[in-house]
Chain A
Amino acid sequence: MTRFVLKRTGGALLVLLALSVIVYSLFYLAPGDPARLACGERCNPQQIAQVREQLGLNESTVAQYLHFLQGLVAGRDHSAGAGLVLHCDAPCLGLSYQTDQQVTDLILTRLPATLSLALGALAIWLLVGVGTGVLSALRRGGITERLLTVLTLAGTGTPVFILGLLLLMAVCAYLQWLPFPTYVPLTEDPEQWAWNLLLPWLTLGLFESAKYARITRSSTLETLAEDHIRTFRAYGVGERALVTRHAVRGAVAPVIALSAVDFGTMIGGAVLTESLFGIPGLGKTLIDAVRVVDLPVVVGVVLAIGTAVVVAGAVADLLYAAADRRVALA
Chain B
Amino acid sequence: MTQTLVEVADLAVEFPVDGADAYVRAVDKVSFTLEEGRALGIVGESGSGKSTVAAALLGLHRGTGARLSGTVRVGGTDVAAATPAALRRLRGGTAAMVFQDPLSSLDPYLAIGDQIAEVHRIHSGASRRAARARAVRVLDRVGIADAARRSRARPHEFSGGMRQRALIAMALACDPRLLIADEPTTALDVTVQAQILDLLHGLREERGLGLLLVTHDVGVAAESVDELLVMRDGSALERGPVASVLAAPAEAYTRALLAAVPRLDGPRASRSLPGPAPDSSAAPVVEAVELRREFGRRGRRVAAVAGVSLAVRAGETLGIVGESGSGKSTLGRMLVGLVQPDSGLVRHGGAPATGITSGVQMVFQDPVSSLNPRRSIGESIADPLRAAGERDEAALRARVGELLERVGLEAGHYDRYPHEFSGGQRQRVGIARALAPRPRLIVCDEPVSALDVTTQAQVTALLAQLQRESGIALVFIAHDLAVVRQVSDRVAVMRAGRIVEEGPVDQVYDRPVHPYTRRLLAAVPGLDPEQAAQRRSSRQEALATA
Do A and B come from the same complex? yes
A contacts, CB < 8 Å to B: 226-228, 230-238, 245-246, 249, 324-326, 329
B231 at the interface (CB under 8 A from A): no
Contact A231 B105, beta carbon cutoff 8 Å? yes
Other 8 A-B pairs with CB < 8 A, given A230-B105, A234-B96: A228-B106, A228-B107, A231-B107, A232-B118, A234-B91, A235-B96, A235-B119, A236-B123
Residue in A227, A234, A246 whose beta carbon sits within 8 Å of that of B58 in the complex: A234
Interface centre among A233, A237, A245, A246 (most CB of B within 10 A): A233
Name the residue on A nearest B99 (C-beta). Answer: A231
Which residues from chain B sit less than 8 Å from chain A, CB to CB?
58, 60, 84, 87-93, 96-97, 99, 101, 104-110, 115, 118-119, 122-123, 154, 156, 167, 170, 174
**Chain B residue contacts of A329, Cβ below 8 A:** 156
- Once bound together, how far apart are the Cα atoms of A237 and B88, in whole Å? 7
**Judging by beta carbons under 8 Å apart, are A233 and B91 in contact?**
yes
Tell me the complex Cα distance, A157–B321, Å.
Answer: 58
| A235 neighbours in B (Cβ, 8 Å) | 91-92, 96-97, 119, 122, 170, 174
A326–B108 contact, CB under 8 A?
Answer: yes
Complex partner residue of B92 from A228, A234, A249, A325, CB under 8 angstroms: A234
Separation of A237 and B93 alpha carbons in the complex (Å)? 11
Instruction: Check A238/B88 contact, CB under 8 A, given A231-B99, A231-B106.
Output: yes
For B106, list chain A residues within 8 Å (CB): 228, 231
Q: Is the Cβ of A236 less than 8 Å from the Cβ of B89?
A: yes
Give the CA-CA distance A324 to B110 in the complex, in Å.
11
Contacting pair A236 B93 (CB below 8 A): yes
Q: Which residue of chain B has its CB nearest to the CB of A250?
A: B109
Question: Hey, which chain A residues are within 8 Å of B99, CB to CB?
Answer: 227, 230-231, 234
Residues of A within 8 A of B118 (CB): 232, 237, 245
Are A249 and B109 interface neighbours, CB within 8 A?
yes
- B-side contacts of A249, CB under 8 Å: 107, 109-110
* A234→B107 contact, CB < 8 A: no
Which residue from chain B places its CB closest to the CB of A249 in the assembled complex? B109
Interface of A is mostly: helix
Chain B residue contacts of A234, Cβ below 8 A: 58, 60, 91-92, 96-97, 99
Given contacts A231-B106, A234-B58, A326 and B156 within 8 Å (CB-CB) = yes
- Complex alpha-carbon distance, A233 and B88, angstroms: 8
Q: Is the CB of A232 within 8 A of B60?
A: no
Chain A residues near B101 (CB-CB < 8 A): 227
What are the residues of chain A within 8 A of B119 when measuring CB–CB? 232, 235-237
Whether B88 contacts A226 by the Cβ 8 Å rule is no
Q: Please give, as numbers and ranges, the residues of chain A lying within 8 Å of B89 by CB-CB distance.
A: 236
Residue of A nearest to B57 (CB): A234
Out of A227, A237, A238, name the residue touching B104 (CB < 8 Å): A227
Q: Which residues of A contact B122 (CB under 8 A)?
A: 235-237
Q: Which residue of A is nearest B101, CB measured?
A: A227
Query: If the complex has contacts A226-B104, A228-B108, A230-B105, are A236 and B91 also in contact, measured as CB distance less than 8 A?
Result: yes
Residues of B contacting A230 in the complex (Cβ-Cβ under 8 angstroms): 60, 99, 105
Whether A236 and B92, one on each chain, are in contact in the complex, defined by CB atoms closer than 8 angstroms, is yes
Q: Are A227 and B174 in contact (CB under 8 A)?
A: no
Per CB-CB distance, the 4 closest pairs between chain A and chain B, nearest first, are: A235-B92, A236-B88, A236-B91, A227-B104
The residues of B that contact A236 with a CB separation of less than 8 Å are: 87-93, 119, 122-123
A325 CB to closest chain B CB (Å) equals 7
Pick from B60, B105, B110, B170 the residue with the most CB of A within 10 Å: B105
Q: Which residues of the partner chain A approach B109 to less than 8 Å between Cβ atoms?
A: 249, 324
Residues of B within 8 A of A326 (CB): 108, 156
A329-B300 Cα distance, complex, nearest whole Å: 11
* Residues of chain B contacted by A228 (CB below 8 angstroms): 104-108
Closest Cβ of chain A to B359, distance in Å, is 39
Known: A232-B119, A235-B174. A325 touches B154 (CB 8 A): yes
Complex Cα spacing A227 to B119, Å: 16
Alpha-carbon distance A246/B119, docked complex (angstroms): 13
A233 to B118, CA, bound (A): 12
Q: Which residues of A contact B104 (CB under 8 A)?
A: 226-228
Which residues from chain B contact A237 at a C-beta distance below 8 Å?
88, 118-119, 122
**Residues of the B chain whose Cβ atoms lie less than 8 Å from the Cβ of A233:** 60, 91
Cα A84 to Cα B123 with chains together (Å): 83
